[in-house]
Amino acid sequence: MTLLRKTVGEIVKEQARLQPTHEAYIYPEHGIRKTYQEFDEETDTLAKAFIGMGIEKGEHVAIWSDNKPEWLLSQYATGKMGAVLVTVNTNYQATELEYLLKQSEATTLILDESFKGTSYIDIIRTVCPELITSEKGFISSEKLPHFKRIILMTEREVEGMYKWSEFITHADKVTDEQFKQQFRSLDPDDVINIQYTSGTTGFPKGVMLTHNNVVNNGKQIGDYMKLTGQDRVCIPVPFFHCFGCVLGTLAAVTHGSAMILLEQFDPLQVLKAVQEEKCTALHGVPTMFIAELNHPDFTKYDTSSLRTGIMAGSVCPIEVMKRVIEDMGASEITICYGQTESSPVITQTKTDDPIGKRVSTVGKPHPNVEVKIIDPVTGEEMPVDVPGELCTRGYHVMKGYYNNPEATREVIDVEGWLHTGDIAVMDENGYIDITGRIKDMVIRGGENIYPKEVEEFLYTHPDISDVQVVGVPDVKYGEELMAWIIPKEGVQLNEESVREFCKGNISHHKVPKYIEFTNEYPMTASGKVQKFKLREMSTEKSYQ
């Protein structure tokens, strides 16, 4: 496949030209429906407002909210005038926000009033106390030397902040010709997005992604799903993460598909949207699909319009995949694997891959993407069916971590290979299976155990809804396995019955020594299970 040389803005304009009256995005909960022509016009106006406000090409604009329409429009408007959109995790609190604004050198913050009971306005006042006495657009912060302005997504009057309608009026200062000139000056290799990695170790790092990175990745993802202008893609995953803004909106926009958007994930709202909007594709991390499938009202909703979609974000359990195909009807569901540093998708299953491969692997590398599996210690390439670290090279690899050349050198070697830190196995046909993170691997008495293998087995237990396996310190063996199990609703499970289920079915050293039952796991805002927190919780229980 030939790579596109287009900017994010050019993609929108192309769809508005090809199918102006086709639906671009729909918010069922608000009754909002916009065509591609309207989407193009809205984002032109917003792009002009950014320019009229004095925001220059290459300037960093942070955005902090759930999947509001303003977030979607800001993504494509900054893509039309060349500002760099810095995405902020919706779960951030004061210390994390201050770190991100400072490290990213953001000049501007777009934010909603609150999220899930947390006041974003209170948090930004804590981080930037000067706000209360600042004139709009002229913030002078001791801690944040680059920070100048705040745009609120609502019409509430808050000292030092522009209301959304005030922000829009800045578009009047910019002529069509001035805007066109700036639009044409953008280069596909310009950085357009900085996304902060979840920071499971140390401080989060700002991944710099270009138009070229995300436009081509979105296009190839949609190609693998066989998306067309007739598809309707339900996107309940957060925009601040690559899943939302690349696998979600960019995969849809590059193919002229309609986006069915939800501000926050709610399993019932997803099922309702799929039925009412006749969605043909549904995105989600495994925990989202599990919540939908296990919802007491699941059978009351008609999901027969579903054809495809994406399960990604963490390891996809085989049993969950089978249920999505059989019970939801998404017979062409695909699995994607990657990381923010690779824009994010490296490998993906195809809609016509054999069913066995679609439920048990993460597919093959995308076109124009190189992959090799190496010994993490020696760097030697591993033979077929032998696990090692997955490395990748190509158009999709990030420009680097913002203002952090040292961390960039740690993950991108001199030959341009991105070292993912993930353990993978490739079969003789090129299909790849991710068996865990290098740091998740458990070494018990000299035996390497990959938690995913044990999880996959436990998922076959009829009374287990979800399971996560981690290593805990052990005096005798160095490490032992601990399983955290969420039982199915209304079911009573005990440790002994789980161990009995394992006996004779998996090797004795892979049977978890410790079993805990829980109702939920510590999660990131993008729906990933935080295994490092599970490990901490397990170790605190002092199973020594």
> What is the predicted pLDDT for the residue at 200?
46
pTM for this predicted structure: 0.86
Question: Confidence class of residue 526 from pLDDT cuts 50, 70 and 90?
Answer: confident
Q: Which residue type is seen at 465?
A: S
**Comparison of pLDDT for 52 and 96, the residue scoring more:** 52
Average pLDDT value over all residues in the chain:
94
For residues 62 and 84, give the distance between their C-alpha atoms in angstroms, rounded to a whole number.
Answer: 8
Q: pLDDT tens digit string along 410-432?
A: 999 999 999 999 999 999 999 99
pLDDT at 184: 98
Q: How long is the chain?
A: 544
Residue 280 has pLDDT above 90, yes or no: yes
Of residues 12, 23, 20, 8, the one with CA closest to residue 277 = 23
Which token pair is 56?
A: 């220059």
Structure confidence at residue 542 as a pLDDT band (50, 70, 90): very low
- Using 50, 70 and 90 to split pLDDT, how confident is the model at 198? low
Q: What is the spatial distance between Cα 355 and Cα 371, in angstroms, rounded to a whole number?
A: 23
Q: Of 313-322, 335-344, 392-401, 491-500, where does mean pLDDT reach its minimum?
A: 313-322
Q: Do the Cβ atoms of 269 and 304 come closer than 8 Å? A: no
Q: How far is CA 102 from CA 142, 143, 273, in A?
A: 11, 8, 39
In tens, the pLDDT along 82-128 reads 999 999 999 888 988 999 999 999 999 999 999 999 999 999 999 99
What region does 77 belong to: left with phi over 0, alpha with psi -120 to 50, or beta?
A: alpha
Backbone torsions φ then ψ of 437, nearest 5 degrees: -85, 150
pLDDT tens-digit map of 443-452: 787 777 878 8
Find the helix or strand (DSSP H, E) in which 538 lies: helix 531-540
CB atoms within 10 A of CB 111: 23
Cβ neighbourhood burial of 299 (10 Å; 0-12, 13-18, 19+): exposed
**Tokens of residue 515, six digits:** 């079993």
- 57 C-beta neighbours (distance < 10 Å), count: 15
Helices (H), 343-431: 355-360, 405-411
Place of tokens 């001791």: 142
Average pLDDT score over residue span 354-371:
94
The answer, yes or no, to whether residue 64 has pLDDT greater than 70, is yes
Q: pLDDT value at position 202?
A: 60
Q: Tell me the one-letter amino acid at 163.
A: K
Q: Is the pLDDT of residue 523 over 80?
A: yes
Peptide bond into 286 cis (omega under 30): no
Least confident of 52-66, 200-214, 355-369, 436-450: 436-450
pLDDT per residue over 163-191, tens digit each?
999 999 999 999 999 999 999 999 999 99
Question: What is d(CA 216, CA 174) in angstroms, rounded to the nearest whole number?
Answer: 30
Instruction: Tell me the pLDDT band of 330, cut-offs 50, 70 and 90.
Output: very high
Residue 206 binned pLDDT confidence (cut-offs 50, 70, 90) = very high
pLDDT at 353 over 90: yes
Share of the chain above pLDDT 70, in %: 99
Q: How far apart are the first and last CA of the chain?
A: 54
Q: Is there a contact between 367 and 1 (Cβ–Cβ < 8 Å)?
A: yes
The first and second tokens of residue 24, run together, are 């671009």
> In this structure, are residues 353 and 363 in contact, taking their beta carbons and an 8 Å threshold?
yes
Residue 382 confidence class, pLDDT cut points 50, 70, 90: very high
Tokens coding 460: 């076959």
Instruction: Please give the residue that has the higher pLDDT: either 296 or 476.
Output: 296
3-state SS, residue 235: strand
Domains and CATH numbers, the chain: 33-196 (3.40.50.12780), 441-540 (3.30.300.30)
β-bridge partners, 370: 393
